[in-house]
Structure 1
Amino acid sequence: MDTVLVLTIGVVVFALAFDFINGFHDTANAIATSVSTRALKPRTAVYMAAAMNFLGALTFTGVAKTISKDIVDPFMLDKGSVVILAALLSAIAWNLITWYYGIPSSSSHALIGSIAGAAISAAGFGILNYGGFLKIMEALILSPFIAIAGGFLVMSLFKVILKNRNLFKANKRIRYMQIGTAALQSFTHGTNDAQKAMGIITMALIAAELQTSDDIQLWVRIAAATAMGLGTSIGGYKIIKTVGGKIMKIRPVNGIAADLSSAAIIFGATLIHLPVSTTHVISSSIMGVGSAQRVKGVKWGVAKKIVITWVITLPISATMAAIIYQFLNLFF
């Protein structure tokens, strides 16, 4: 069998594996607040998230097109299949390491950093599409700050609305509303995160000259959505524990405020075809909500560890991908 075809098949397999791992790694963030407030039982939340992620992944393709052409031009990439395979192996390795330690790191940062690192290792810094790459980086950097502000504002609004209400009764009603916001959160996660694997597969198909445009084929969309849904059904309880309880003590009103603000930001990014880190956005929204309620109520030590992981993910994944590319290049 032709080497390029073998590499392309390898890319498809590992891209779907990345989506599967992303399902139980990142999707845990989307349901963490509803599980921690006991609005949903963990197993019920996981299955609901799996279904909503699948639907979200099938609905949009704009982010996939951004991933496929805005970091590196696949039409200009020599040994493109090797580059993409190295990037996937790096991103998967980093996701598994952070999942093992229960740290909610960013799959988006890991993947984008890995693509850049592998491409630079193959062809130098000139291979990057700097206009598109910087646009993606701006979205990744700014979205957590917008999420903190959004969480703070929504929670402040809820405090005004519920000022003269019986908090026990209000929290009881809001807990039921959290089922809807958790579903919305999972849907928006699918609209953004699942598309990253679609973009990677499309890059590989272009590099192998199996397609000549950046259109996302139907089988790619279905395969990526299925992998994300299956991964979600496995669940990511370590991440749920960190996001749902270790950043702050979450009550139903906090959970719904965090869900609404983060879902709006993620879906907004999807509509303008920009990838964002759902992990960053959701965790930052929770920090914003906690700050609005009581600054000292946020466990800033845990938040600091999460932020450090956010910062180091991109350079570490880029370095890992560069090394993996050089290793694969010995054989291909």
Structure 2
Amino acid sequence: MTPELLILSLVVVTALAFDFTNGFHDTGNAMATSIATKALKPKSAVTLSAILNLIGAFLSVEVALTVTNAVVNIQDASGAPKPELIGDGGLALLLIILAGLVGAIVWNLLTWLLGLPSSSSHALFGGLVGATMAGLGVEGVKWVGDGTKLDGVVGKVLLPALVSPAIAIAVASVGTWLVFRLTKGVANKYRESGFRWGQIGSASLVSLAHGTNDAQKTMGVITLALIASGHWTDLTAVPFWVKFTCAAAIAAGTYIGGWRIIRTLGKGLVEISAPQGMAAESSSAAVILASSHMGFALSTTHVATGSILGSGVGKRGAKVNWRIAGRMAMAWLITLPSAGLVGAVMWFLGHSIGGVYGALVIFAILLAAAGWMYAHSKRTRVDHNNVNDDWADQIAAVPDKPMVSGPRKKSKKKARKKKAAKKLKAEL
């Protein structure tokens, strides 16, 4: 196996691993409100979301082409790929892509551990931009297009990041207000039960929309790696096997369920009712689908969180946990630079070692970091059994604080029973 092919294989495996983390990191975007209102059982919700993510991934390639063409400046003046970045020179670009993916995955896993719904998309773009700047300089990043349309990192990533949450908040606020206004005379129990059925449909649409946007980002990364290694030359298409494997990876991740983030979105931000949930999900689906059609690689997490906040703003008397919202906003602000910093450090490390050994070292670092965070997450289990527990213990804020329910609670119960039995025996 040639060095280029070995590094390409590492890039493809790492990209699919990112796609998997993207799936469980973003499950809450579609299903958190439906789980919180009990419109769907937790396991049923993630299963439905996984199937629809799989289908959605095949519906469009606009976002995938954005990732392929709008981040790394790979084209020369004629529009053809730069010779120094492809073929025999493809090792440089492959190492950049691998380092960027490591930055994205590390940030995804860290925010999952903390229960923070930050953007997988921005983690990916941040990692790629950081590694590209380290490897090719500032001019290696395609910041803007040719001036005739929104393009590059600014037009396709940064601008949607600023605008989409605000649009989602506004749409969800108005939608929630209208829902409660139009159903003012309906008894609360009938309103709740009716809108729970509506939630199933709106949550399904969000899952489908998520597949059309987020699954394609990994497709774009793998296609870029294939171009770098000389195995693909078409800048306007994606190989079918890339579509299939990326769709399967994000669906598998979605089925696993990112329960920590689902808990934060469903219970920690706003106490959601069924009408609010339907308004939030419908708002998210509309914004994401419109953006996918235009090729904007926006953050579905930002959109979903904005919609949930909007549902709280739009309902009179609803309580929004602004402290948690502020913590999320802080995570949003530092996602791009943090993932970019990790990506840049990984590139410098891999480049200094050189060749295949450099790629293997940063891949090993990724495995070690992922293993540590997974082991640390076991200290406080959040799964489908306790995802709807009350927010009093704030697992998202303090990941190593004991859960109210779960293994530790059971052990305390067992200790109390043992103590009572011992006391009774002494009395007898």
* In structure 1, C-alpha distance between the alignment counterparts of 2:213 and 2:174, rounded to whole Å: 24
Q: 1:234 aligns with which of 256, 273, 278?
A: 256
Contact in 1 for aligned 2:94/2:229 (Cα 8 Å): yes
* Residue of structure 2 aligned with 1:164, choices 172, 181, 185: 185
Q: Distance in 2 between matches of 1:152 and 1:231?
A: 31
Find out whether 1:81 has 2:61 as its counterpart. no
1:64-143 map, 5 Å: 64-74=64-74, 75-76=81-82, 77=85, 79-131=92-144, 132-136=152-156, 137-143=158-164
Alignment of 1:184-195 (within 5 A): 184-195=205-216
* Match 2:243 to one of 221, 246, 261: 221
Deviation at 1:29? 2.0
Alignment deviations for residues 282-330 of structure 1 (CA, whole Å, 9 cap, x no partner): 0111101101114761110000000000000001111110000011112
Distance between the aligned counterparts of 2:104 and 2:42, measured in 1?
27
Contact 1:27 1:189 survives alignment (8 Å): no
Which deviations, in whole Å up to 9, do the C-alpha atoms of 1:211-237 show, x marking residues without a partner? Answer: 111211110000000001111111111
Highest CA radius of gyration, 1 or 2? Answer: 2
In structure 2, the residue matched to 1:182 is 203
Structure 2, unaligned runs of 5 or more: 75-80, 145-151, 356-428
**What amino acid is the match of 1:312?**
I
| Higher-helix-fraction structure | 1
Measure how far apart 1:159 and its partner are: 2.1
TM-score, structure 2 normalization: 0.76
Distance in structure 2 (CA, Å) of the matches to 1:221 and 1:310: 28
Normalization by structure 1: what TM-score?
Answer: 0.98
1:269 maps to 291
Which piece of structure 1 moves more, 128-137 or 261-270?
128-137
Partner in structure 2 of residue 299 of structure 1: 321
- CA distance in 2: counterparts of 1:27 and 1:142, whole angstroms: 22
Equivalent pair of 2:40/2:200 in contact (CA under 8 Å): yes
Contact kept in structure 2, 1:262 and 1:282, CA below 8 Å: yes
Mapped to 1, the partners of 2:131 and 2:328 lie a distance apart of: 25
Query: Alpha-carbon deviation of 1:128?
Result: 1.3
> 2:169 maps to which residue?
148
SS in 2 for 1:38: coil
User: Bigger shift: 297-306 or 66-75?
Assistant: 66-75
| Deviation digits for residues 59-88 of structure 1 (CA, Å, limit 9, x no counterpart) | 111000001111113334461100000000
Q: Given residue 275 of structure 1, which amino acid in structure 2 is its aligned partner?
A: A
What is the distance in 1 between the residues matched to 2:252 and 2:262? Answer: 17
Q: Report the equivalent of 2:394.
A: none
Q: 1:295–1:19: structure 2 CA closer, same or farther, 3 Å change rule?
A: farther
Q: Do the aligned residues in 1 keep the contact of 2:180 with 2:275 (CA within 8 Å)?
A: no
Structure 2 matches for 1:51-66, cutoff 5 A?
51-66=51-66
Deviation per residue, 1:32-77 (Å, 9 max, x gap): 0000000000000010000000000111110000011111133344
Q: Summarize the alignment of residues 255-266 of structure 1 with structure 2, pairs less than 5 Å apart.
A: 255-266=277-288
Distance 2:110 2:215 in 1: 20
Say which SS state the counterpart of residue 297 (structure 1) adopts. coil
Aligned length, in residue pairs: 332
Unaligned 5+ segments in structure 1 are: none
